[in-house]
């Protein structure tokens, strides 16, 4: 799955995910979108199994329009984490060994 984050300066208006932008993203293979912001910068996280990260500029333009100063971030590591005990056991959310998780 490809994932890309796009950082871009915020203009006077609030960044929005318009229907036409979402249609364009879907046509590029994007299946998950997150829009983030603080007082001066916004971020767009795009993911999708069929999304080709080489299309990130086109995808970003679908949301931001023409935008000087946009920066693209590509993942250098991505992994899942778990509370599972290293050797086959399961734990509950507190880290205690789940009942019946390990035969001793």
32-37 and 41-48 strand pairing: antiparallel
CATH code, 49: 3.30.70
- In the prediction, which pLDDT does 60 show? 87
The residues of the chain scoring below 70 in pLDDT are 13-14, 86-104
61 is in which domain, residue-wise?
1-104
Measured CA to CA, the distance from residue 5 to residue 32 in angstroms comes to 12
Do 44 and 67 contact (CB within 8 A), yes or no? no
Quote the number of domains for the chain.
1
Q: What is the pLDDT of residue 97?
A: 58
Sheet holding 2-9, edge to edge: 32-37, 41-48, 2-9, 71-73
Q: What are phi and psi of 63, to 5 degrees?
A: -95, -45
Q: Given its phi and psi angles, is residue 34 left (phi above 0), alpha (psi -120 to 50 degrees) or beta?
A: beta
Q: CB–CB of 81/20 below 8 Å?
A: no
Instruction: Check residue 87 and give its pLDDT.
Output: 59
- Write out the two tokens for 33: 């979108």
Would you state the pLDDT for residue 86? Answer: 67
Q: What per-residue confidence (pLDDT) applies to 45?
A: 93
């Amino acid at each position: 799955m490809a994932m890309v984050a796009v950082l871009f300066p915020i203009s006077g208006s609030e960044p929005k995910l318009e229907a036409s932008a979402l249609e364009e993203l879907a046509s590029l293979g994007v299946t998950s979108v997150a829009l983030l912001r603080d007082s001066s910068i916004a971020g767009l996280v795009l993911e999708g199994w069929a999304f080709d990260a080489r299309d990130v500029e086109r995808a970003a333009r679908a949301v931001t329009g023409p935008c000087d100063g946009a920066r693209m971030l590509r993942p250098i590591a991505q992994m899942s984490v778990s509370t599972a005990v290293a050797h086959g056991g399961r734990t509950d959310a507190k880290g205690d060994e789940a009942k019946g998780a390990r035969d001793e």
